[in-house]
Amino acid sequence: MSQKVWFITGASRGFGRIWAEAALKRGDMVAATARSIDRLADLVGQYGEAILPLTLDVTDPDQAMDAVGRAHAHFGRLDIVLNNAGYALVGAIEEARESDVRQEFETNFFGALRVLQAALPLLREQGHGHILGVSSVAGIVANPIIGFYNASKWAFEAMHEALAQEVNQLGIKVTLLEPGAYATGFASDTSLAISAPLEAYAELRQQVFAAGANIAFGNPLATADAVLAIVDHESPPLRFFLGTEGMPVARAAYAGRLATWQEWADVSESAQGSPIKHAIASAGAI
């Protein structure tokens, strides 16, 4: 199947916009969603019937179901479902209000879940599909001051890892895209929510922001060919780093974790105790 049909959330800017345009340029068809489809007008003017603009706020369950259904009905199938919408909550664990944390998860985790649950019956019925979830290097390590963003992406990663095992036999592929820092405007006011600061974390916050100022941001336009290569591959990976940041971070993080687990292995094993025969509950009782 040479021409593909995409469903993309958050397609009006950043990665979503770049990848939507890359797909359209090569002749694919795109259901492009955004909270305001006015921002997609230029793509509609350029690509005509190849693009279907749809209003979608992923925090609205009805909109998610409607948008996925309309896209499938319009194009007759969905080959790629790309969950890209998201933002970061900035604040120490003590600083953030619970309502703000819930809203972070409403967009980053539950928003993606809504799209997945709307799309999966359609992908199962057609017997194929590729789910792409935009995670982050922040989805494999946690950092101070953005811990709740990390938490939302860790949950996002776990959901997709489980999903990949559930749908593999159904002909559905799953890939987590894990970008490092890119100049997408993600650090702008429209992509950040900032908690009211406490003086106790002022010095730490300053250190974190100072380190961020020295980051060499990647060029987001350079990601397009890589994403197209992933969706065209017969056996795409479950996890895929975009850029150069991820691999060194992963090596250091996992080396540290393994070293700590190994250091405490004797104590861990002593906690097992003597074997006990125990009946495992049936699947229906779990």
List active site positions: 135, 149, 153
Q: Which CATH number fits domain 5-248: 3.40.630.30, 3.40.50.720, 2.40.50.40, 3.40.50.300?
A: 3.40.50.720
CB 205 within 8 A of CB 145: yes
Query: Which residues, 6 or more positions from 196, have their beta carbon under 8 angstroms from its beta carbon?
Result: 91, 95
Domain boundaries, the chain: 5-248
Q: 125 — phi, psi (to 5°)? A: -65, -40
Mean pLDDT, residues 20-29: 98
pTM over 0.75: yes
Interaxial angle between packed helices 147-167 and 98-105, expressed in degrees from 0 to 180 and rounded to the nearest 10? 30
Task: List, for residues 165-213, the tens digit of each pLDDT value.
Answer: 999 999 999 999 999 999 886 555 556 788 989 999 999 999 998 888 7
Predicted local confidence at residue 163, as pLDDT: 98
